[in-house]
Chains A and B, each alone.
Chain A
Amino acid sequence: MFVYADNAATTQMSAAAKEALCAGMEQAWANASSLHTPGQKAREQLEAARAQIASCIGASPREIYFTSGGSEADTQALFSLARAGARKGKRHLISTTFEHHAVLHALEALEKEGYSVTLLDVHETGVVTPEQVAAAIREDTALVSVMYVNNEIGTVQPIREIGAVCREKGVPFHTDAVQAVGHLPVDVAADNVDLLSLAAHKFHGPKGVGVLYAKAGTPLSNVIYGGAQERSRRPGTENLPAILGMAAALREACDSLPENTARWTQMRDRLISGLSAIPHSRLNGDPVRRAPGIVNFCFEGIEGESLLLLLDAKGIAASSGSACTSGSLDPSHVLLALGLPHEVAHGSLRLSFGAANTMDEVDYILETVPGIVSYLREISPVWEALETGRQPHRI
């Protein structure tokens, strides 16, 4: 059996997305800025895609800016709000410790320019509260940025309530919703967000294309300079085939959201209950406030990369936040943000669902993981130390 359970990393394009993308390459290849007939037809398709994407997230079409993906959208959102704040003497930025690196590294870059950054604690549960945000906001706060769904552990943040706090205090609010759009009902108006980032490849659309939603009146600065595309805020000839693929994928994801949510929730809960039966295992993140498609566990005494390789040999594609898979010295900053010790964070496993996953696949995962965990524990000196009492169990 082959099980692709790494949909939070990326998804396979859906048939509808591929069809729309290919049709775009064949029929809508003209430059949407050209005055001739093929150019104007491309323009019509571009605007139709914009309207369709806007309707899926409760936005108006003129609030949708096409980007190269989530990282660009995050970068532009943060730099725009920071610059706008600085013009009014506001140089304080608020975010959380477990954001995606697209946000954290953009904030680091802004910090080097003289902004001050407050990163809110996400607690053991992986959830930040509106009260924390309210307490952190100062007179000189230029922005608040909190991710909608954490990409590693799947916890859902109280975006609507945080947005309400920001509105009340008059601070612009950005959310990185890359893991949320297409997986949860997202409505920019009801959620009180001013800026939102999304990426097509997380909901069965193509890679290299995304959206920055900017509420009308939100000042945007350029990250890229050039022509008048996207109201001059995101110059560069639009990647229309990819945009058409994204629109088709999002339409499909939004239409099947109730059905997928019900199915994924059942699958997720069976997976969580099955993996919890492994001794000294731990579900990472709040057990209730979580996206239907992401499950993250730590297994004490083993290391994540070897677990992934053995799962791969059994046909299961997953991911881990271990240092060895991140290519750096430290394990995942998200798991460390939850307060997990390094040695526990090394033994993490993330399984994430997409449209094609089935309950049979969950059962196969549950048949496979416990044996691999026991085998790796058998050969682990760390497990030996834990079991002989030389070191205390942490989970």
Chain B
Amino acid sequence: MLYSETVMDHFQHPRNVGKLDDADGIGEVGNAKCGDIMKMYLKIRDGIIVDVKFNTFGCGSAIASSSMATEMIKGKPVSEALALSNKAVVEALGGLPAHKLHCSVLAEEAVRAAVKDYYDKNGIAYDPAEFCNGDCACCHEHDVQQN
């Protein structure tokens, strides 16, 4: 099979799918031209991600990666969400095919973009270099390697 059982489970029964009308931070990454876009909604209270939802346009691994990423950050402090790596998402999914690794990078970037939006909206200072500017490799290339 192309995908692991965990990937298929998260693809067929995605967790935290949907939108949050009163989100504190929203991040959207990817490129429809390349075939995947992720949009992440965060509800944050006292530095804790109390709720998270996602919408994804993309293949099975893109939907599964989004779903897994939301599970991994829900209930966690924002600082932990920022530390979420695509590698951790891949491991939690029981692996992804090499040509699908960019989906996990998109998931990591979507979380970070949503946190950045939260920081921006709340006037919280941060180092811009730490965030995707919406124009990095993951938004354009499909050959991002596991790092």
Q: Are A379 and B17 in contact (CB under 8 A)?
A: yes
Q: Are A306 and B55 in contact (CB under 8 A)?
A: no
B121 at the binding interface (Cβ < 8 Å)? no
Q: From known contacts A305-B59, A305-B60, infer whether A342 and B142 are also in contact, taking CB-CB under 8 Å.
A: no
A306 to B58, CA, bound (A): 7
Chain A 208-238, CB-CB to B under 8 Å as 1, else 0, gives: 0000000000000000000000000000000
B27 vs chain A, min Cβ distance (A): 11
Q: From known contacts A306-B60, A327-B99, infer whether A381 and B34 are also in contact, taking CB-CB under 8 Å.
A: no
A152 vs chain B, min Cβ distance (A): 17
A182 at the binding interface (Cβ < 8 Å)? no
* Minimal Cβ-Cβ distance residue in A for B11: A309
B12 at the binding interface (Cβ < 8 Å)? yes
* Minimal Cβ-Cβ distance residue in A for B103: A324
A76 at the binding interface (Cβ < 8 Å)? no
Task: List A contacts of B19 (CB < 8 A).
Answer: 384
Q: Are B57 and A324 in contact (CB under 8 A)?
A: no
B49 at the binding interface (Cβ < 8 Å)? no
Q: From known contacts A306-B60, A383-B57, A384-B55, infer whether A331 and B17 are also in contact, taking CB-CB under 8 Å.
A: no
Task: List A contacts of B8 (CB < 8 A).
Answer: 309
* Minimal Cβ-Cβ distance residue in A for B28: A381
A242 to B18, CA, bound (A): 53
Instruction: Enumerate B85-101 residues with CB–CB distance to A below 8 Å.
Output: 99-100
Among B11, B56, B60, the residue within 8 A (CB) of A381 is B56
Chain B 30-72, CB-CB to A under 8 Å as 1, else 0, gives: 0011111111000000000000000111111011000000000
Q: Are B35 and A381 in contact (CB under 8 A)?
A: no
Q: Are B142 and A380 in contact (CB under 8 A)?
A: no
* Minimal Cβ-Cβ distance residue in B for A344: B32
A309 to B14, CA, bound (A): 14
A303 at the binding interface (Cβ < 8 Å)? yes
Task: List B contacts of A380 (CB < 8 A).
Answer: 37, 55-57
Instruction: Enumerate A343-364 residues with CB–CB distance to B below 8 Å.
Output: 343, 346
A323 at the binding interface (Cβ < 8 Å)? yes
Task: List A contacts of B63 (CB < 8 A).
Answer: 306, 379
Q: Are A329 and B38 in contact (CB under 8 A)?
A: no
* Minimal Cβ-Cβ distance residue in A for B55: A381
Among B11, B14, B35, B57, the residue within 8 A (CB) of A323 is B35
Task: List B contacts of A262 (CB < 8 A).
Answer: none
Instruction: Enumerate A299-325 residues with CB–CB distance to B below 8 Å.
Output: 301-303, 305-306, 309-310, 313, 322-325
Q: Are B57 and A381 in contact (CB under 8 A)?
A: yes
Q: Are A381 and B39 in contact (CB under 8 A)?
A: yes
Binding site for B on A (CB under 8 A): 301-303, 305-306, 309-310, 313, 322-325, 327-329, 331, 341-343, 346, 379-384
Among all A-B residue pairs, the 8 with the closest Cβ atoms: A324-B59, A305-B59, A343-B32, A381-B39, A382-B57, A380-B57, A342-B33, A381-B55
